[in-house]
Amino acid sequence: MNRLIEGFRRFRQNYFVAHRDIYQQLTVEGQTPRAMVIGCCDSRVDPQLIFDAKPGEMFIVRNVANLVPPFGPSKNYHGTSAAIEFAVRGLGVKHIIVLGHAQCGGIGALMRADPGDKSDFISAWMAIAAPARERARAAGDNDGTAVQRRCEHESIKVSLANLMTFPWVREAVERGDLAVHGWYFDLEAGNLLSLDSDGTFRPV
């Protein structure tokens, strides 16, 4: 805790002071981010750091394995879906980026899962990406690292498809008011890959 408090003090004395005008503007005018990032809660993958973004530039939601569930209104808790709704209908973002990454622990858990696994929340959450696991395994590669990476890529595609099940996302995309993107951060090499229209991830 002392490490975090000291970090805050450095932030307050240095970054905050240097960017006080930005914070003042955001306080007075509110936030108007143009992009939403759906990222993983992995401590190694910080979207604001990766994209060198200033405060107010990105609306970020992070969860295990950067997943988007399919549209399904109910009285249950839907944190990610609520964030997407606020970004699209409340803030009017122009871009939604699903940001996956290498060595994802959630995808690793998905790849190792079996009917005997015990979990209060993770197993059910990762079931969203079950189609990605099946496609990754169907490719026939026996290299575990390669299969996991393929599953990480495929899970981004699953989340993008699920995004389009939200009616107001689909309508905004069809009007040309919103674009969705699949990006993958290779934290081992420091590369960013973008999903092309042919389904292949390529360096930006």
Q: C-alpha 154: how far from its chain's center?
A: 14
Residues 148 and 56 in one domain: yes
Average pLDDT per run of 10 along the chain, which is 204 residues long? 96 96 96 98 97 97 98 94 98 98 95 71 94 91 88 98 98 98 96 97 96
CATH at residue 140: 3.40.1050.10
Q: Percentages helix, strand, coil for the chain, rounded to the nearest 5?
A: 50, 15, 35
**Do 139 and 160 sit in the same domain of this protein?**
yes
In terms of domains, do 46 and 21 share one?
Answer: no
Q: Are 133 and 106 in contact (CB under 8 A)?
A: no
Placement of tokens 């295990």 in the chain: 64
pLDDT value, residue 144: 84
Name residue 186's beta-bridge partners.
191
Sheet holding 58-63, edge to edge: 58-63, 35-40, 95-101, 179-186, 191-195, 201-203
* Residue 121 CB neighbour total at 10 angstroms: 8
Q: Cβ atoms within 10 A of the Cβ of 144, count?
A: 11
Same domain, 53 and 124: yes
Looking at the structure, do residues 6 and 75 belong to the same domain, yes or no? no
Same domain, 36 and 10: no
Q: What is the pTM of this model?
A: 0.94
- One domain, residues 163 and 184: yes
Note whether 62 and 149 are same-domain residues. yes
Domain count, the chain: 2
**Same structural domain, 37 and 19:** no
Residue 182 structural domain: 31-203
Q: Is 166 helix (H, G, I), strand (E, B) or coil?
A: coil
Contacts of 26 (CB under 8 A, 6+ apart): 55, 56
* Residue corresponding to tokens 């955001």: 26
Question: Is residue 15 located within the same domain as residue 106?
Answer: no
- Identify whether residues 48 and 3 lie together within a single domain: no
Report yes or no: 3 and 25 within 8 Å, Cβ to Cβ.
Answer: no
Task: Give the per-residue pLDDT at 139.
Answer: 81
Q: Residue 114 has what pLDDT? A: 57
Cα 52 to Cα 54: distance, rounded to the nearest angstrom: 7
Please check whether residues 26 and 119 belong to one and the same domain: no
Cα distance between residue 58 and residue 199, in whole Å: 25
Helix (H) or strand (E) holding 105: helix 105-112
Decide if 127 contacts 67 (C-beta within 8 A): no
For 9-13, the CB contacts below 8 A with 24+ separation are none
